[in-house]
Chains A and B, each alone.
Chain A
Amino acid sequence: MALSTVLETPGAGFNFDNAARNAALEGLFEGGQTPKPLKTGTTIAGVVFKDGVVLGADTRATSSEVVADKMCAKIHYISPNIYCCGAGTAADTEKTTDLLSSNLTIFSLNSGRNPRVVMAVNILQDMLYRYHGQIGANLILGGVDCTGNHLYTVGPYGDVDKVPYLAMGSGDLAALGILEDGFKHDLELEKAKELVRAAIHAGIMSDLGSGNNIDICVITRQGVDYIRPYQESVYKDDRKMKYKYRPGTTAVLTEKVVPLKLEVVQETVQKMETA
């Protein structure tokens, strides 16, 4: 069973090889520290409501103090019934969720069913644990399957917790305040969307690493509604993005034309078969 579902078969037991290799690499650099991978600085949140799960995220990706991407997609597709928000190192969350999605697609094709959320969580946990925290991925997994509506958090060290509401990323404390105050079990769809939107908004307002627009993803038994963007930033950019100048903007002072004499040296004809 394990062979048909995963592209890579993990070795038996615990394998700390990569952690040991990274520790050895750190020793090679003077000063002791390997270069730190860049983080996104993010606010992501998730809430379980009556009919499913709502996930939300901001859309800012930062590279130190510069906003590298204003419309970055932080809610990743895992399977038709499971989506995953990622905080931490952007490359790590992208690759990890991609790998998970591929594995689950193979599983779906082989078994003919949609994967269960708990399966996705287990695969992620095994993989992240094997890398002993070196993969900087803080993930919120939400989905709906035959056993119900689920929301899980997976940390970079491979710890897992099943929760009814959740926020992660650098803006998580602000978002968590809103969630703690407003969460109730079995919320209606609109209330749940509004709660998540307010939570992300709080993160955007209070955290420098989060900002721009808010994406919302609603997952129910009926399907997925990925609203991108759900709410646009009030600070809209007025840049034109087109910098073509009309001919004549720059004055021409002198003009000199030099004709290039070319002579035909050789001419060959090759018929093309298009039948």
Chain B
Amino acid sequence: MEKHYSDSQVKGVSTGTTILAAIFDGGVVIGSDSRASIGGEYVSSKTINKVIQVHDKIFCCIAGSLADAQAVTKAAKSHLSFHSVQMESPPLVIAAASVLKELCYKNKEELQAGFITAGWDRKKGPQVYVVSLGGMLISQPVTIGGSGSTFIYGYVDAKYKPKMTKEECLQFATNALALAMGRDNVSGGVVHLVVIMKKGVEHVVVPGDKLPRFHDE
């Protein structure tokens, strides 16, 4: 089969994707779908991991070119590990986001990858940062990214409330991702969610058949 990147701007495997992160009362939920595609027409992996741990309580969601994103997060992981050894304490979430931002900004001509960083640290508690394609870094209480995010801006704007409980936030995240996966052809598979709180980290995987279904499905 001829694999060609006709519509997609990304060469090679792309995580046309839906990623999301949201702060709740006492922690943060970060999640993504699990589909990797080539050229917007071939699903090269149904189970790709897009929620990558860069430190004990800091996770990153990747979007864009899979190769670029994996290379950047690898470099970031190593940098953060060294940083935390030097500082003799776990890195701040903003430090992790800044490492990603530096790499994205300095190499913006060649890279095609965007990130959502979420985590918990002692100084500011739960935080979410967005590092976009060109290297912009901003902090937001809730954020969505990837090609599938365009379909759920309305849902997120309407349904997100600050200071939700963990269960409410998990349900909100699952619903948002399910809605996006239902409309975006390059998002799909399973929903990977990670809950980060002061006491620790919890992984939740929602398989495709257990996703919430909406009225027309």
Contact = CB atoms under 8 A, between A and B. Distances in A.
Contacts of A159: 12-13, 36, 65-67, 70
Nearest to B66: A159
B12 A133 contact: yes
A159 B69 CA distance: 9
B105 to A, nearest CB: 12
A126 B72 CA distance: 11
A124 B1 CA distance: 25
Q: Interface majority SS on B: helix, strand, loop or mixed?
A: mixed
B164 interface: no
A75 B57 CA distance: 40
A129 B71 contact: yes
B206 interface: no
Interface of B: 1, 11-13, 36, 44-45, 47-48, 65-68, 70-71, 74-75, 103, 107, 110-111
Interface in A159-212: 159-161, 163, 170, 172-173
B64 to A, nearest CB: 11
Interface of A: 13-14, 16, 19, 122, 125-126, 128-129, 132-133, 155-161, 163, 170, 172-173
Contact of A158 (B1, B36, B47, B71): B71
A167 to B, nearest CB: 11
Query: B13, B45, B47, B67 — which one has the most chain A CB atoms within 10 A of its CB?
Result: B67
Contacts of B36: 159, 161
A173 B1 CA distance: 7
Contacts of A173: 1
A23 B71 CA distance: 21
A225 to B, nearest CB: 29
Contacts of A128: 67
B85 to A, nearest CB: 15
Contacts of A163: 45, 47
Given A155-B12, A159-B12, A170 B70 contact: no
A132 B110 contact: yes
Contacts of A16: 107, 110
Contacts of B110: 14, 16, 19, 132
A172 to B, nearest CB: 8
B45 A161 contact: yes
Contacts of A132: 110
B1 A160 contact: no
A133 B11 contact: yes
A177 to B, nearest CB: 12
Nearest to B36: A161
Contacts of A126: 71
Nearest to A207: B1
A160 B49 CA distance: 10
Lowest 7 A-B CB distances belong to which pairs? Answer: A157-B12, A157-B67, A159-B66, A159-B67, A158-B67, A129-B71, A159-B13
B33 to A, nearest CB: 15
A163 B44 CA distance: 11
B101 to A, nearest CB: 14
B13 A155 contact: yes
Nearest to B48: A161
Contacts of B66: 155, 157, 159
Contacts of B103: 13-14
Contacts of A170: 1
A160 B11 contact: no
A160 B107 CA distance: 21
Given A163-B45, A170-B1, A158 B70 contact: yes
A160 B70 contact: yes
Given A16-B110, A159-B13, A129 B48 contact: no
23 contacts: A13-B75, A14-B103, A14-B110, A16-B107, A122-B74, A125-B71, A125-B74, A129-B71, A132-B110, A133-B11, A155-B66, A157-B11, A157-B12, A157-B66, A157-B68, A158-B71, A159-B12, A159-B65, A159-B67, A160-B70, A161-B44, A163-B45, A173-B1
Given A14-B110, A16-B107, 16 more contacts: A13-B103, A14-B111, A125-B70, A125-B74, A128-B67, A133-B11, A155-B12, A155-B13, A157-B65, A158-B71, A159-B12, A159-B36, A160-B70, A161-B44, A163-B47, A173-B1
Nearest to B72: A14
Query: A156, A161, A173 — which one has the most chain B CB atoms within 10 A of its CB?
Result: A161
